[in-house]
Amino acid sequence: MITHFVISCEHGGNRIPCPYQHLFRGFESLLHSHRGYDCGALRMAREIALKLDASLFVATTSRLLVDLNRSIGHPNLFSEITRRLPNVTRREILARYYLPYRNRVEMAIAEAIKHGNRVIHISSHSFTPELDGQVRKADIGLLYDPSRPGERALCQRWQASLKTKAPGLTIRRNYPYTGKADGFTTYLRRRFPTDMYAGIELEINQKYVFNSGLKWLALRHSILEALHEVVV
């Protein structure tokens, strides 16, 4: 069975479309924080897609407008800036930005499976080094559903390869979030069978992005080489 790779990045930028920019006046610092987007995630997604010759789907609209990694009905689908907008405006945002992106990714996976391919979907994210006064104790997180053997085995192999290639890094599974929490991969698991779809969220500590330079380059290189080793 051929493996088809799909790479996505739901929080790739902090762009606010023109019709809604007035809502965010005074929130510029928030837009440039981890609340506005996942710093470094877009670059990582593009490099993974290039390495694996994979389908790539990215969104650069800020999660503060609507969070593409949350299900409809989730309390954090809209931010504190947009959740009190009129229903008609929120529906418009969903129709323009949320549904087209999610549908494109889902349709690409469905099409690959229809042609007999197994899909490995990697959703690229990053996390703030400290949240609510708590320091995150990981450099890389690999999120998956433990009840899905393919996802569990892939993350175990990826983690082991990373530890070999970059022994100084702390790589944790289902940290700093759990792979079964609400998210795009969680939704897609309900749409596609276990043996045909594996959805993994890659989480990178943003301290490497902020510091830039050789450590950020080395981190990306290790992630790419380890992933390539275990899936190709």
Range 172-176 average pLDDT = 98
Percent above pLDDT 70 for the chain? 100
In a domain, 176, yes or no: yes
Summarize the confidence of residues 114-130 as an average pLDDT: 97
Q: Strands, E, within the chain: which ranges?
A: 3-9, 55-58, 118-127, 130-131, 134-135, 140-143, 171-173, 197-205
Neighbours of 89 (CB within 10 A): 14
| The predicted structure's pLDDT at residue 212 | 75
pLDDT digits (tens, 9 = 90+) for 129-160: 999 999 999 999 999 999 999 999 999 999 99
* Residue 99 counted as domain residue: no
Q: 143 forms bridges with which residues in the sheet? A: 201
pLDDT at 100: 98
In a domain, 151, yes or no: yes
Residue 111 lies in a domain: yes
Sign of CA dihedral 227, 230, 231, 232: positive
143 found inside a domain: yes
What pLDDT, on the 0 to 100 scale, is given for residue 232? Answer: 87
What is the domain-level CATH number for residue 55?
Answer: 3.40.630.40
Q: Answer whether residue 158 is part of any domain.
A: yes
Q: Please give the pLDDT value at position 1.
A: 83
| Average pLDDT over every residue of 221-231 | 98
* Residue 90 maps to a domain: no
**What phi and psi values does residue 105 have, to the nearest 5 degrees?**
-65, -45
> Pick from 192, 92, 203: which is nearest to 158 by CA?
203
Q: How many structural domains is the chain composed of?
A: 1
Region 200-210: mean pLDDT is: 97
Mean pLDDT of the chain: 97
Residue 213: pLDDT band (50, 70, 90) is confident
Considering the domain boundaries, does residue 145 fall inside one?
Answer: yes
Q: What percent of the chain has pLDDT over 90?
A: 97
CB atoms within 10 A of CB 232: 10
169 and 162 Cβ atoms separated by less than 8 Å: yes
Q: What confidence tens digit (pLDDT) does each residue in 12-29 have? A: 999 999 999 999 999 999
Which of the 8 DSSP states describes residue 61? Answer: B
pLDDT tens digit sequence for 40-76:
999 999 999 999 999 999 999 999 999 999 999 999 9
Angstrom CA distances, 136 to 82, 89, 132, 172, 227, stand at 28, 36, 10, 11, 23
Instruction: Give the Å distances, CA to CA, from 55 to 58, 90, 157, 170.
Output: 10, 29, 22, 29
Chain centroid offset of residue 189 CA = 15
pLDDT of 68-96, one tens digit each? 999 999 999 999 999 999 999 999 999 99
What range does the domain containing 47 cover? 3-15+42-60+104-231
| Residue keyed to tokens 């993994």 | 200
Structure tokens at 84: 């009190």
Q: What is the pLDDT of residue 163?
A: 97
**Residue 214 has what pLDDT?**
92
